[in-house]
Amino acid sequence: MKDPLDNAPLFVFLDPKGRRWPRLRRLLVLLGVLVFLAVVLFLQALFVNPQLRLPASVRRMKGQLKAIEQQEARKESAAEKATDESWRKFYPMTATGQERIAKLREILHPKPQKFSEIRLGFYTNWDPNAFESLEKHADQLTHVCPDWMTLTDGLGTLKVDGDPRVQRLAAAKGLVLMPLLTNEVDDAWSPEAVEGLAMGSDDQKNAFIVNLLAQLQAMKAGGVVIDWEEIDPQRQKDITDLLIKMADALHAVDKELWVEIQMSDEFNVLDLERLAEHADHYIAMLDDETSETDPPGPIASQDWFEGWLHTLAGYGEPDLWIGTIGVYGYDWSSGRKTAKMITFGDAMSRASYAELPRVDSQAPMYNPIYSYQDPQHDHTVCFLDAVTFLNELRAIRAADLGGIAIGRLGQEDPQIWDVLGFKDTDNVTPEELAELDHMKSSDMVTNVDEGEAITVDDTQEDGRRTVKLEKNGRYTVEYSPDFPRYPTIFHYGSGGEHQVALTFDDGPDPKWTPMVLDILKKYNIKATFFLVGSQAEQYPNLVRRIVAEGHLIGNHTYTHANLAAIPGKQVELELNATQRLIESITGRSVTLFRPPYNADSSPSHADELEPLEKVHDMGYEIIMENIDPEDWARPGTDVIVDRVKELRRDGSLILLHDAGGNREQTVAALPQIIDWLQTRGDTIVPLSTLLHIPYNELMPPVDSDPVTLLVAGSGFMIWHWTVEFCWAFMIAATALIVLRTILVAVLAARHYRRERKLSEDAPYTPPLSVIIAAYNEEKVIAATLRAVTDTDYPGEFEVVVIDDGSQDQTVREVEKAALTDKRIRLVRQANGGKSEALRTGVAHSVFDTLVFLDADTHFDRRTFGELVKPLRDPKVGAVSGHAKVGNLRTFIARCQSLEYICGFNLDRRAYAQWNCITVVPGAVSAIRRSALEEAGGFCLDTLAEDTDLTLCLHKADYRVEYSSGAIAWTEAPESARALTRQRFRWAFGTLQCLWKHRDMVFNPQFGALGWFSLPSVWFFQIILVALTPVVDGLLIISLILGGWSAMWFYVLIFLVMDLILAVLACGLDGDKLYKSWIILPMRIIYRPLLSWVIWKALYRASKGAWVTWHKTERTASMPVRAA
């Protein structure tokens, strides 16, 4: 045996001295360490929070509230209002009225609670606390009155705004639903809506009533509560008649009509006497002593409350009346024309954070009042609590009214529910009273001050107060100084009455952001852009432009993440990555932050505050919004503009979007919005003006150390270009695949037609030498030989089997076969590899036409004839047969079957058409002896001797043909392991051949081979397969970052191309088309495997080690060919 190292060319990639790998390894290790260090530095830049140095002096911590001097003076001026005994105007002078009042004189000896006491809760849709309160305390209520219906015009048009949740809850808890019907349109009373209907035709009234009944029926209501205000007493008769008509109609379907009666000059605007015969209840609005447009005063002072109770006694039976007990508060600010309605919790938080020494309620008001100040304004707060509730409840029960109404759910001191649970409000036990002293905190969120910049404090602490019974039977309360603490949001930056700010979320976007910037520039308006990091990373120039044009930038997380849904560490990462990115692009830090997905409402629950507190602790100013026209949903330009107009009444911070979809409507609406705001007299100011913080402090020049910045900047840049490259690669690959698919399909079809013409030629039957190299083939060799000899081939042939030093019974099997068929000869050699064996075979054969097949390959009867047919042409040096997978037992085998079908029916046909076949497979091929010799015979320096030989034949200027009729059934590996080994051998061999024959690529001498098929192998079988996992990985990451919409297109093209080829191949093969579906799972399962094999081959190649002839483990699983 010769040593292959001596005479043969060196085995391709072999590095006998073993120097290449250590050198390469050192290089790789060095590179690895560098990359690792860079990644560590980058991550450090991301994970270590930047020090945002917004000066403490400008940061608004905890609202900065202070107690105010002269508490007493303010209280007195408020109390003065309480001496206005408005009820006296309506004090009944009739005998019965007087009599009833006399009874009420004993008001402080209330009767025990009536079993049938009505307890109605007023409810509003927009307050999440209201639903929570209703849900929690439904058992203590009998009726609920949600503000669902509005009479909008004099024609009886009803606007209904129900909430199925409340309907369900009411039904489940047995609450009677009594929706409110008001004439309040867009925050203003519209008396004409009522008067017009009342004075209108009977037809109109009837239609209105029918509609009302239908609405009530639909919401399963028990009736309706009427709240009609500012109506004209001149229309008393008409309106009273209308109400009577409504009451009668309601009664006919077993529903009720209740009417709210204002405890004011409007008291007797309706004919109370006549209406009493028809209405089921009057609700006395006993929580409105001071309205929001009045100067500070009590909401329901006890004198006023009791005075009105006396007065009511003159109007109908006592149980006709239901008394409203207020549970809210007002905060009058020197900066506002009207008071702001607040909850009990808000009142506690304000007192607590202003560190008031004490807050109390005193005779004769019995309403707690206090004053405080924030940095801009003085405030006076009056509120109602469980103690005022107790006082009022006792008075109502004493007056023997029909029940109470709570105004309104969600605003109350939670302990009013304890008061309702007291056994006997006439004799409150010391234990019950002590219960009121201890105030439990809860997770309901309270708000302090106004504005859309917020800081939060989620502390919860119980508080204490002292409740005392005075001699006159009224209770007083003293809070000092342990106010309960609820999770609190401190607001600031509400700005002046005519100041408004514009903000844009989710950008930058290459199309829409420039349009928005152009508009802003035209109007010379400075806005704030809350950028999403992943967008900013793609369009750094837009970020620079935003800053250059004087706008503010805020952080909107890196991936538009929902803070409530991600862990705290990720919150930091989201913010830091965006921060670092903006720093590296603009050289400025950002201190503004807006949480994504906060559009619906401001937080109402403690758990929503936690991430915000974290963000605040990181040094950010959190900016919400209160004018959200939901432009992202593309409701139409006009709708966007109209919504802004409507919301501007109560809001000053506009949220629009300059990215995240088609923003055509936003861009169209923006100039209209700006024009309208300016017409309105508003100044559109930058956020810095609203916050009273200078631009340079909201976006300070970066003071992080330059190295961190450089690392972060380069990191983002490398990431950026990597992603860019991946996309470019993806697009280029897709384009090439499409081109190749078309080309292959066209060429294959042409070849198909050409071959059919050829088959009409006369048969060509030269004598053949059939050569089979065998190594440990005992299981299959006998069947292979049977198939070879059982042929229709009319010509002469010999079969030479070369045993390559098998350790099993291969020799015996062959000898057995040789006994029965003289055409079979056995040649034995010491183990030397497949090429060596083939050489031996060629040397021992006699004929000029050589046919090669693998030891596991079964020929058909027609195979010889078809295979040699093209050799009639002397220019043809070799012919490739058509290999098919014979064993279809496993999925892996079926996959390979399809792969073979595609490879042989398409690629090889196409290549044959242009004479650029790259491999005549050893499994089934015919080669002219002279050509073989001219090409240099089988070389020993690669594992893929067939590819090598084919390329050599091309170099010797022979044609290489393909014969699709020359079918050979081969046995495919059935396990992934076996397949991997086979494919590794192929891959390594292919790599060797490509390397060995690299001079042929793009060499004009070789035509299509150099320009088409060899580059195809390089690109599609080596580079693409090797890179796909890298590309896949990056694509998955960008998928997570929201790139799916961009990617599916390419994925689809890949799959469609695959499918087209597979269907075509099956069609050409005459196979069943449906088999081609398997190409889709193949993509997913095959690709990683092939990549692995390629990388392993590359690794081995660079290592320069020997690769032995791993061969497929034979199972003899191929069914014996049908005869």
Q: Which is nearer to another protein, 36 or 721 (CB)?
A: 721
Helix, strand, coil percent content, the chain, rounded in steps of 5: 50, 15, 35
- What number of other Cβ atoms are within 10 A of residue 275's Cβ? 24
Considering only 32-40, 89-97, 562-570, 695-703, which stretch makes contact with another protein by CB under 8 A? 89-97
Q: Is 114 in the site for another protein (CB under 8 A)?
A: no
Considering only 193-201, 240-248, 883-891, 1085-1093, which stretch makes contact with another protein by CB under 8 A? 193-201
Maximum separation of any 2 CA atoms in the chain, in Å: 142
- What number of other Cβ atoms are within 10 A of residue 755's Cβ? 20
Residue 1066 DSSP code: H
For residues 410 and 343, give the distance between their C-alpha atoms in angstroms, rounded to a whole number: 8
Q: Which is nearer to another protein, 204 or 831 (CB)?
A: 204
Considering only 129-137, 324-332, 723-731, 973-981, which stretch makes contact with another protein by CB under 8 A? 723-731
175: tokens are: 């609450």
Q: Which is nearer to another protein, 206 or 234 (CB)?
A: 234
- In the complex, least distance from residue 622 CB atom to another protein, rounded to whole angstroms: 30
Binding-site member from 2, 25, 220, 511 for another protein (CB under 8 A): 511
Q: Is 969 in the site for another protein (CB under 8 A)?
A: no
Q: Is 211 in the site for another protein (CB under 8 A)?
A: no
- In the complex, least distance from residue 306 CB atom to another protein, rounded to whole angstroms: 19
Binding-site member from 30, 73, 633, 731 for another protein (CB under 8 A): 731
E-strand ranges in 99-241 read 118-123, 143-146, 149-151, 158-160, 176-177, 180-182, 184-185, 188-189, 223-227
Helix (H) or strand (E) holding 24: helix 20-47
Q: Is 538 in the site for another protein (CB under 8 A)?
A: yes
- In the complex, least distance from residue 652 CB atom to another protein, rounded to whole angstroms: 15
Q: Which residues contact 229 (CB under 8 A, 6 or more apart)?
A: 182, 183, 184, 189, 191, 262, 266
Name 827's bridge partners.
802
Binding-site member from 32, 233, 295, 874 for another protein (CB under 8 A): 233
- To 10 degrees, the CA torsion angle through 382, 386, 392, 394? -160
Query: Do 131 and 167 touch, CB atoms closer than 8 A?
Result: no
Q: Is 679 in the site for another protein (CB under 8 A)?
A: yes
Q: Is 671 in the site for another protein (CB under 8 A)?
A: yes
Q: Is 675 in the site for another protein (CB under 8 A)?
A: yes
Q: Which is nearer to another protein, 91 or 1054 (CB)?
A: 91
Binding-site member from 84, 85, 106, 265 for another protein (CB under 8 A): 265
- 784-to-384, 853, 855, 889 alpha-carbon distances in Å: 100, 9, 6, 19
Considering only 185-193, 350-358, 760-768, 972-980, which stretch makes contact with another protein by CB under 8 A? 185-193
DSSP string, 759-807: TTSPP----EEEEEEESS-TTTHHHHHHHHHS----S-EEEEEEEES-S
Among candidate residues 342, 343, 368, 364, the one with its CA nearest the CA of residue 356: 368
Binding-site member from 15, 135, 163, 192 for another protein (CB under 8 A): 192
Binding-site member from 144, 175, 181, 195 for another protein (CB under 8 A): 195
- In the complex, least distance from residue 311 CB atom to another protein, rounded to whole angstroms: 10
Q: Which is nearer to another protein, 238 or 628 (CB)?
A: 238
Question: Coil, strand or helix: which one is 424?
Answer: coil
Q: Is 152 in the site for another protein (CB under 8 A)?
A: no
Binding-site member from 728, 976, 1040, 1105 for another protein (CB under 8 A): 728
Binding-site member from 52, 723, 883, 1094 for another protein (CB under 8 A): 723
- In the complex, least distance from residue 266 CB atom to another protein, rounded to whole angstroms: 6
Residue 84 CA, distance from chain mean position: 58
Phi then psi for residue 499, to 5 deg, are -105, 140
Binding-site member from 1046, 1052, 1056, 1073 for another protein (CB under 8 A): 1046
- To 10 degrees, the CA torsion angle through 542, 548, 550, 555? 40
Q: Is 159 in the site for another protein (CB under 8 A)?
A: no
User: Active-site residue numbers?
Assistant: 505, 657
Binding-site member from 8, 639, 1047, 1051 for another protein (CB under 8 A): 1047
Binding-site member from 681, 794, 1004, 1070 for another protein (CB under 8 A): 681
Q: Which is nearer to another protein, 682 or 856 (CB)?
A: 682
Per-residue contact flags (x/-) with another protein for residues 453 to 492, judged by CB under 8 A: ----------------------------------------
Binding-site member from 153, 288, 697, 934 for another protein (CB under 8 A): 153
Binding-site member from 49, 338, 678, 696 for another protein (CB under 8 A): 678
947: tokens are: 């590819």
Query: Do 415 and 439 touch, CB atoms closer than 8 A?
Result: yes
Q: Is 794 exposed, middle or buried (0-12, 13-18, 19+ CB in 10 A)?
A: exposed
Per-residue contact flags (x/-) with another protein for residues 642 to 661, judged by CB under 8 A: ---x---x------------
DSSP string, 511-570: THHHHHHHHHHHHT---EEEE-HHHHHH-HHHHHHHHHTT-EEEE--SS---GGGS-HHH
Sheet holding 475-479, edge to edge: 359-360, 475-479, 463-469, 438-439
| Strands 223-227 vs 180-182: parallel, antiparallel or unpaired | parallel
For residues 142 and 118, give the distance between their C-alpha atoms in angstroms, rounded to a whole number: 6
Q: Is 522 in the site for another protein (CB under 8 A)?
A: yes
Query: Do 581 and 555 touch, CB atoms closer than 8 A?
Result: no
- In the complex, least distance from residue 973 CB atom to another protein, rounded to whole angstroms: 39
Q: Is 521 in the site for another protein (CB under 8 A)?
A: no
- What number of other Cβ atoms are within 10 A of residue 732's Cβ? 11
- In the complex, least distance from residue 969 CB atom to another protein, rounded to whole angstroms: 46
Q: Which is nearer to another protein, 513 or 835 (CB)?
A: 513
Give, as ranges, the residues between 1011 and 1040 that touch another protein (CB under 8 A): 1038
Binding-site member from 49, 51, 234, 541 for another protein (CB under 8 A): 234
E-strand ranges in 83-192 read 118-123, 143-146, 149-151, 158-160, 176-177, 180-182, 184-185, 188-189
Give, as ranges, the residues between 267 and 296 that touch another protein (CB under 8 A): 267-269
Binding-site member from 41, 58, 67, 199 for another protein (CB under 8 A): 199
828: tokens are: 């034995």
Q: Which is nearer to another protein, 349 or 513 (CB)?
A: 513
Considering only 263-271, 622-630, 746-754, 775-783, which stretch makes contact with another protein by CB under 8 A? 263-271
Binding-site member from 558, 727, 797, 1006 for another protein (CB under 8 A): 727
Among candidate residues 551, 451, 522, the one with its CA nearest the CA of residue 491: 451
Per-residue contact flags (x/-) with another protein for residues 548 to 567, judged by CB under 8 A: --------------------
Binding-site member from 90, 123, 321, 620 for another protein (CB under 8 A): 90
For residues 641 and 1023, give the distance between their C-alpha atoms in angstroms, rounded to a whole number: 54
For residues 691 and 685, give the distance between their C-alpha atoms in angstroms, rounded to a whole number: 10
Q: Is 664 in the site for another protein (CB under 8 A)?
A: yes
Q: Is 200 in the site for another protein (CB under 8 A)?
A: yes
Which residues contact another protein by CB under 8 A? 89-94, 153-155, 186, 191-192, 195-196, 199-200, 232-234, 265-269, 510-511, 519, 522, 538, 645, 649, 664, 671, 675-676, 678-681, 723-724, 727-728, 731, 1038, 1043, 1046-1047
